[in-house]
Amino acid sequence: MISDFQFISVPRIIFGAGSRDLIAEEMRRLGGRALVVTGGGSLEESGAWGGIEGQIQKAGIACERVRALGEPSPELIDESVAALRGSGVTLVLSIGGGSVIDAGKALSAMMTQDCSVTEFMEGIGGREHNGAVLPHIAVPTTSGTGSEATKNAVLSHVGPDGYKRSIRHDNFIPDLAVVDPELVLSCPAGVTAATGLDACTQLLESYVSTKANPMTDALALSGLGFVGDSLLLACGEGAGDTAVRAAMAYGSLMSGICLANAGLGVVHGLAASIGGMFDIPHGIVCGTLLGTATEEIIGALRERGGESVVLEKYARVGALFAGREYCRKDRNFLCDKLIEILHAWIKELDIPRLRDYGVLREDCAEIVRKTENKNNPVNLTPAEIERVIVKRLV
């Protein structure tokens, strides 16, 4: 029997190599003056920005520019909105990694408001946004967060009392996602690994989420299949292969659609806590914790009994990653195989440990205190969550 569920909209999607050539045409269709949000400089260094900018200029579209360096802060959003008042901006183009697209979503949402973005941040301001936004075109240049398909914008204030919180509304989903795998060809191996494991985490957490439904299950399994086949290749000998990059871009896109509808689990609960306290890339947190968290969750499900459907799901992913010859193995074998594969990927990809970013054993209690299980298939105890962290400290 299928339980009742709701499924929010997805952006209009243009997917494929060379689809970046359609950006200026889509901007002209929306009309007006554009706010272009980019990152530090990797887009220019790759050579891709020159072609896109040339087409925008040829189309006669006037632009303002904002750079989002690292994960966007509330201060960046408030200062940018204040500077852009009266500029006549009527649409947003964000082109970059997940943080850049999150900044684009936040700016799209706040250009229509007359207050600080903190007033709409979950757990901080508490006000409900009215959903008024500027049209937004999102163009990812990494394959990880799926931010081009989600309804939230994550903002960070890093420090001992820091936080990582979202502003959220169904209308924050970009109007158009242009997913061109050629834009990811120049992505370094370390970034590819971290963002790829983030996409894998989002797909797996959505798949076993307490809010999962048949539609998210189908999309998550589809994405997991492509990620499982392509992650190591994308970080190595297949880095320059557009087909490999397309597989990862598709997996990332599916992860965004799934998380927007099914939610995430304890790995992302930890990412929010650790990311607020330490200056650490989101993909690194998720990637480094994915194996230990999955091992802890499967162990808790086995120990407490019940939830056999969830263990069957983990087993199905284990078979998907391990290969066709393993599909007839029993559930326990395949769950263990999944854990083994995740640990092997994290080791082979040389994902840093938390201590590399200043996280110490004495920080664990505060991290655990701030961490939510979210939609995890089992509520891990504080001691279990602490074990997940400690195993990836050194």
DSSP state string for 47-61 = THHHHHHHHHHHTT-
Give the count of beta carbons closer than 10 Å to the beta carbon of residue 303. 9
pLDDT value of position 66: 96
Which residue numbers in the chain have pLDDT < 50? none
Give the count of beta carbons closer than 10 Å to the beta carbon of residue 250. 21
pLDDT digits (tens, 9 = 90+) for 154-191: 999 888 888 899 999 999 999 999 999 999 999 999 99
pLDDT value of position 129: 97
pLDDT value of position 393: 97
pLDDT value of position 54: 95
Which domains, ranges and CATH numbers included, belong to the chain? 12-184 (3.40.50.1970), 189-390 (1.20.1090.10)
Rounded to 5 degrees, φ, ψ at 166 are: -110, 155
Residue 121 carries which DSSP code? S
pLDDT digits (tens, 9 = 90+) for 199-228: 999 999 999 999 999 999 999 999 999 999
Give the count of beta carbons closer than 10 Å to the beta carbon of residue 302. 14
Helix (H, G, I), strand (E, B) or coil at 161: coil
* pTM across the whole model: 0.95
Which has the closest alpha carbon to 30: 92, 84, 86, 110?
92
Which has the closest alpha carbon to 158: 335, 2, 276, 12?
276
Amino acid sitting at position 129: H
Q: Is the dihedral of CA 333, 339, 342, 346 positive or negative?
A: negative
